[in-house]
C-alpha cells in the first residue's frame, strides 16, 4: 500500500521537524514544499524580480530557468542542494508574496504531485491536504498560538547563527499568516477531513506520537478492507 501523509499548518508549528521524524520512522520519503516556494523567492531576489510586478510570461520564462530535482530525500534547484540560504529573513519577507501568485502555484503544484507520485511519502506545506494531494490517506493540520510559534522560530534562527529579534520574527509570522490564509489561490486552510492538532504545550515527540497513532489506525482500516 502506498501511504501519502499531508502535514499542513502555519509557520512555526513544527511541521518540518515532525514531518521529517515521521518519514524517518516509517522509512518513507519526505518533501518540504515550503522549501520550493522559498527557492523560487530566492531566485526572485537574486535576479531583482519584483513579485508585485510579474505577469504570466515572466513566470513562464522563470520556470524555463528553474529545474527541481529530488534525490535521496533532498531537494535540488538547478543542480544545487537547497541550503539554509533559503531560510534568510530576506527570503522570509517576500516568500508569501511570491507564493500568492497563481502561475507560480500552478507550476509548483504540478511538480510536487509528480515528485509524490507512486510512492509513500510525507509532504508538508500549506495546501497539501486541500490542493496538492487531496486524496492523501492521512491529513494533519498543525496549529499553535502566534507567540509560541515565534518563540520556536526565534530559537531555531539563533541556533543557525541568524541574528533577529523576537519582534521581527513575530511580525514576519503574523504577516505571512495573513497573506497565506487570505490569498485567492490555495489559501492556508485545514482540509475538511484533516485532523487538527494544537501543538501549544506539546513536545515534538508527543506530536509525532499522535500522528503515528492516526497513521496506524488508517493502515489497520485499509488492511481490513483488503
Ligand atoms: O518553515 P516555515 O513554516 O517558515 O515556512 P515554509 O514551509 O518554509 O513556507 C514558506 C512560505 O511558502 C509560506 O509562508 C507560504 O507563503 C509558502 N508556501 C505555500 O504557499 N504553500 C506551500 N505548500 C508551502 C509553502
What would the DSSP string read from start to end of 177-212? HHHHHH-SSS-S---TTPEEEE-TT--HHHHHHHHH
> Across the strands, what pairs with 122?
5, 30
Is the confidence at residue 112, as pLDDT, over 80? yes
Query: Which residue's CA lies nearest to atom 9 of ligand 1?
Result: 34
Q: Among the listed ranges 104-108, 160-164, 183-187, 193-197, which one has the minimum average pLDDT value?
A: 160-164
Residue predicted with more confidence, 16 or 1? 16
Going by pLDDT thresholds of 50, 70 and 90, the confidence category of residue 210 is very high
Q: Going by DSSP bridges, is the β-strand pair 121-125/29-32 parallel, antiparallel, or unpaired?
A: parallel
CB-defined site of ligand 1, < 6 Å: 11, 16, 33-34, 37-38, 95-96, 99, 125-127, 176, 180
What cell does 13 get? Answer: 508549528
How many angstroms does the Cα of residue 225 sit away from the middle of ligand 1? 36
Work out which ligand 1 atom sits closest to the CA atom of 128: 23
CA dihedral in degrees (146, 91, 104, 58; nearest 10)? 150
Q: How far does the centroid of ligand 1 lie from the alpha carbon of residue 25, in Å?
A: 24
Distance 26 CA to ligand 1 centre (A): 24
Res. 88 pLDDT band, cuts 50 70 90? confident
Percent with pLDDT over 70 in the chain: 100
- Model confidence, pTM: 0.94
Residue nearest to atom 2 of ligand 1 (CA): 11
The predicted-structure confidence for 41-81, as pLDDT tens digits, reads as follows: 999 999 999 998 888 888 899 999 999 999 888 999 999 99
pLDDT, residue 89, reads 84
- Domains within the chain, CATH numbers bracketed: 4-214 (3.40.50.300)
Has residue 226 got a pLDDT over 80? no
Q: Name the pLDDT band for 84 (thresholds 50, 70, 90).
A: confident
Q: In the predicted model, what is the mean pLDDT of residues 164-189?
A: 94
Task: Report, as an integer, the average pLDDT of 211-223.
Answer: 93
- Residue with CA at minimum distance from ligand 1 atom 20: 99
- Where does the pLDDT of residue 86 fall: very low under 50, low under 70, confident under 90, or very high at 90 and above? very high
- pLDDT score for 1: 82
Neighbours of 114 (CB within 10 A): 11
Amino acid at each position: 500500500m502506498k501511504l501519502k501523509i499531508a502535514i499542513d499548518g502555519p509557520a512555526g508549528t513544527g511541521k518540518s521537524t515532525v514531518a521529517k521524524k515521521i518519514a524517518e520512522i516509517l522509512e518513507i520519503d519526505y518533501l518540504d514544499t515550503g522549501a520550493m516556494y522559498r527557492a523560487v523567492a530566492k531566485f526572485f531576489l537574486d535576479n531583482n524580480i519584483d513579485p508585485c510586478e510579474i505577469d504570466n510570461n515572466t513566470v513562464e520564462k522563470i520556470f524555463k530557468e528553474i529545474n527541481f530535482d529530488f534525490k535521496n530525500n533532498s531537494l535540488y534547484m538547478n543542480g544545487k542542494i537547497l541550503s539554509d540560504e533559503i531560510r534568510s529573513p530576506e527570503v522570509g519577507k517576500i516568500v508569501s508574496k511570491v507564493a500568492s501568485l497563481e502561475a507560480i502555484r500552478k507550476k509548483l503544484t504540478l511538480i510536487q504531485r509528480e515528485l509524490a507520485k507512486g510512492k509513500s511519502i510525507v509532504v508538508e506545506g500549506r495546501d497539501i491536504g486541500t490542493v496538492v494531494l487531496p486524496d492523501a490517506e492521512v491529513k494533519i493540520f498543525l496549529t499553535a498560538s502566534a507567540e509560541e510559534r515565534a518563540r520556536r522560530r526565534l530559537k531555531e534562527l539563533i541556533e543557525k547563527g541568524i541574528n533577529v529579534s523576537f519582534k521581527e520574527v513575530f511580525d514576519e509570522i503574523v504577516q505571512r499568516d495573513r497573506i497565506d490564509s487570505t490569498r485567492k489561490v490555495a489559501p492556508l486552510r485545514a482540509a475538511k477531513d484533516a485532523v487538527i492538532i494544537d501543538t501549544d504545550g506539546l513536545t515534538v515527540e508527543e506530536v509525532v506520537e499522535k500522528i503515528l497513532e492516526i497513521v496506524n489506525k488508517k493502515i489497520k482500516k485499509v488492511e481490513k478492507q483488503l
